[in-house]
Amino acid sequence: METYKTVREFAFDELVEKRSRFIGYCKPVKTQDEAIAFINEIKTKHWDARHNVYAYVIKDEGVSRYSDDNEPQGTAGIPVLDAIRKRNITDCVVVVTRYFGGVLLGAGGLVRAYSSAAKLAIDAAREREMEMCSVCSLRCSYTMYGKIPSLVAKYGGAVDDSDFADEVSITFHLPEDHLSSFNKSLSEESSGKYAAEEIKKEFFDKVKN
């Protein structure tokens, strides 16, 4: 089963280290263009900051990038990228803005500060695990409909939509490797009358057992 981890929402947090202010921003993105647009948005917001360091990882495009933004090489962008990689997160961009406080932190201090600010931002954005699911459709009687939500949930899925006419048309998703077992149980429940049809595959939040 194909899975990956990303973040749930835009978020930010900050810390102060020897009077330097580090503001970490994190956002889920699907493309490099989205990541760059967000980086530019933060740079515009904090045009007066000494540094706007960033890193991002994009799953489908197979790219990861970082920038020290004029901090000493290896002390800023790489620690931010490492904070993403250590959590095994993708489709994510992190920007850490630094307002210099007048005290030099040294290479080790910069690495720790940028790493910590990136981690705080990722924590605030909240991790989510995604899994590839089969999106399915099913038409059934009203009597059978009453049994579908619990059956879908049994196989780790959820009902997405229902349309009520002469029969009920249901759209739902469940982990892609569970469809065969679901249809077997559905057949047993309906004496072979019903089977769900896969419409497409799509990533959804992984259901926690």
Those residues whose C-beta lies under 8 Å from the C-beta of residue 206, and which sit 6 or more positions away, are 3, 129, 130, 131
User: Domains, the chain, ranges and CATH?
Assistant: 3-125 (3.30.230.30), 131-205 (3.30.70.240)
pLDDT of 209 higher than 60:
no
Beta-bridge partners for 132: 203
Q: What is the pLDDT of residue 198?
A: 95
Each residue of 96-151: pLDDT tens digit? Answer: 999 998 888 999 999 999 999 999 999 999 999 999 999 999 999 999 998 999 99
Q: Which single residue is written with the structure tokens 């630094």?
A: 98
How many Å apart are CA 172 and CA 165, to the nearest integer? 17
| Arithmetic mean of pLDDT, 200-208 | 86
pLDDT of 208 higher than 70:
no
Q: What is the pLDDT of residue 75?
A: 95
pLDDT of 2 higher than 90:
no
Q: What is the pLDDT of residue 9?
A: 96
Residue 75: phi, psi to the nearest 5?
-100, -5
How many Å apart are CA 51 and CA 41, to the nearest integer? 14
Each residue of 23-50: pLDDT tens digit? Answer: 999 999 999 999 999 999 999 999 999 9
Residue 158 CA, distance from chain mean position = 19
Each residue of 152-172: pLDDT tens digit? Answer: 999 999 999 999 999 999 999
Q: What pTM was computed for the model? A: 0.85
pLDDT of 76 higher than 60:
yes
pLDDT of 179 higher than 80:
yes
Residue 37 CA, distance from chain mean position = 18
